[in-house]
């Protein structure tokens, strides 16, 4: 078996990772939403990434153009329909789903999303 080369593996521990601000559709950034994404061949927020929301943050209402799956590592998250998520919850949102989410105390989650979302 061939050894894994330096340029073939990236390792980051989220305890000391540098999180990037979330870029909005208009090109501005939202410092209350941040992410770590290791695969730079995909746009930010597409594929597998860690996403953080600061306390009091609400995401932009959006439609999923592909399926989304996420796992709550820590904190709280509430969808616009009142559904509450807590640490340990694993969530699947089907393509075409429209929603936005808010957090009272902040939230860190692992996200896998197939394609970029669009605002509604």
Confidence of residue 116 (pLDDT cuts 50, 70, 90): confident
The answer to whether residue 40 scores a pLDDT higher than 90 is no
The answer to whether residue 118 scores a pLDDT higher than 90 is no
- Identify the structural domains of the chain with CATH numbers, from first to last: 28-119 (2.60.120.10)
- Interval 15-39: pLDDT, tens: 999 999 998 888 889 999 999 999 9
The residue with tokens 């061939």 is 2
pTM of the predicted model, to two decimals? Answer: 0.90
3-class DSSP assignment, residue 42 = coil
3-class DSSP assignment, residue 6 = helix
43 or 102: whose pLDDT is higher?
102
3-class DSSP assignment, residue 102 = strand
Exposure of 56 in the CB half-sphere (CA atoms within 13 A): 3
119, β-bridge pairs: 62
HEC string of 45-87? CCEEEEEEECCCCECCCEECCCCEEEEEEEECEEECCCCEECC
Percent of the chain with pLDDT over 70: 100
The answer to whether residue 1 scores a pLDDT higher than 90 is yes
């Amino acid at each position: 078996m061939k050894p894994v080369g330096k340029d073939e593996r990236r390792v980051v521990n989220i305890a000391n990772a540098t999180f990037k601000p979330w870029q909005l559709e208009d090109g501005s950034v939202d410092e209350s939403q941040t992410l770590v994404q290791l695969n730079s061949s995909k746009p930010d927020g597409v594929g597998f990434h860690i996403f953080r929301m600061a306390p009091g943050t609400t995401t932009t209402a959006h439609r999923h153009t592909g399926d989304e799956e996420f796992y709550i590592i820590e904190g709280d998250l509430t969808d616009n329909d009142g559904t509450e998520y807590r640490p340990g919850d694993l969530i699947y949102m089907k393509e075409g789903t429209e929603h936005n989410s808010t957090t009272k105390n902040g939230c860190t989650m692992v996200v896998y999303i197939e394609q970029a979302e669009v605002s509604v």
